[in-house]
Amino acid sequence: MAYRDFNKPDQTPSKTDPSGTGAGRTVDTRLVGGSMALRREHGTATQLTGTYLHDPIFNDADLVALKAWCDPADPRPLVVEIGFQRARFARAFCEANPDVRYLGFEIRKKFCEDADAWLVRGGVVNARLALVDARACLPMVVQPGTLDTLLAFFPDPWWKSRHMKKRLVSGDFVAEAADLLKIGGQLLVKTDVEGYADWAEAEMRSDARFEVARLDDPAADLPPTQRERACGLHGRPTWAVRAVRLIGG
C-alpha cells in the first residue's frame, strides 16, 4: 500500500464505533490474539510444553509463575519483548545480559516452540516466554512502575485502513507502557517501514510522561533481530524510536 494511505483510517462505522474511525472499538476487538477472558470462554487450550514456555490464558499456574517472574522484589532488571518470533534477539540479548529477567510475548504457538528450543540450545536460564497477546497480559503480571525496558521490534504495520485499529503502537498502548515503566525506563520500537516509524513516534509523543527521540543508530546498541539481519542483507533501511519515562511527567 502506498505511503500516502498509511495514516488514513477506516471510515466504516461499527457497533462499538459509530463514527467509523476505529478509535472507539473496545480493547477486546483491537487485540490481534483476542482477549484472555474471551479466549478462556470460547477457545481451546494448546498442548504447550517446554523449558521456558507459559500459557497464561488456559493455565492458572503459568499465570502465577509469570507474576512471580516479574516480582518487583527481584533486584534484576525486567525486560519485556513483544513479538519475539523465533527468539534470535532474545537468546543473544540474554547471553550478553545474564543479570536481567527477560520476558517475551508471542501469539503464534510455532514461534513459541521454536524459540524455546533455540533458547535451550543456547543454555539461556534468564528467559520466560508467554503464548498470549502482551496487551492483554502485561497489566496482569507487571506491576505499575516496575518495568525497566519494553521492546517492540518490527510490529506488523497493518497497512490497510480498516486494520489500523490492530496496530500495536497506539495512544492506549503508549499510556499503558508509561504506567508500567520505572522512572528512566524505556519503550523502544524498531521498524523497517518509515511510515510506521512516523506513526509510532507521533503516538509516543502523545504522552507527556515520555521524552521521545528518533535514534541515529537504528540498531540502538542491541543485538540484531532476525528481521534486521534480513534488512541488512538486502540493503533495506530500518528505524528506531525511543521513549524514556520522565520524572514527574
Answer yes or no: is 8 within a domain: no
- List phi, psi (to 5°) of 14: -140, 170
Lowest mean pLDDT among 51-60, 64-73, 158-167, 196-205: 158-167
pLDDT band at 25, cuts 50/70/90? very low
Q: Is 7 part of a structural domain of the chain? A: no
- Clarify whether 156 is annotated catalytic: yes
Nearest residue to 36 via CA among 107, 113, 128, 110: 107
Number of independent structural domains in the chain: 1
Distance separating alpha carbons of residues 168 and 117, to the nearest angstrom:
27
User: Which of the following is catalytic: 10, 17, 148, 156?
Assistant: 156
Look at residue 1 and tell me if it is in a domain.
no
Asked if residues 146 and 180 have their Cβ atoms less than 8 Å apart, the reply is yes
- Cα→Cα distances 168→158, 195, 214, Å: 9, 14, 18
pLDDT band with cut points at 50, 70 and 90 for residue 218: very high
**What CATH number has the domain bearing residue 159?**
3.40.50.150
Q: Is 218 a member of any domain?
A: yes
Mean per-residue pLDDT of the chain: 86
Query: Would 2 be classed as within a structural domain?
Result: no
Q: Is residue 6 part of a domain?
A: no
With residues binned 3-state (H G I as helix, E B as strand, rest as coil), the percentages for the chain, rounded to 5, are: 35, 20, 45
Is residue 27 very low, low, confident or very high in pLDDT (cuts 50, 70, 90)?
A: very low
For the segment 90-144, what is each residue's pLDDT rounded down to a tens digit?
999 999 999 999 999 999 999 999 999 999 999 999 999 999 999 999 999 999 9
Q: For residue 4, tell me if it sits in a domain.
A: no
Residue 35 lies in a domain: yes
Name the region of 184 (left: φ>0; alpha: ψ -120 to 50; beta: rest). Answer: left
pLDDT tens, residue by residue, 189-200: 999 999 999 999
What is the reported pTM? 0.86
Give the alpha-carbon dihedral of 116, 117, 121, 126, to 10 degrees: 10
Phi and psi dihedrals of 129, rounded to 5?
A: -125, 140
196-200-204 Cα angle (round to 5):
175
**Host domain of residue 120:** 13-245
Q: How confident is the model at residue 159 (pLDDT cuts 50, 70, 90)?
A: confident
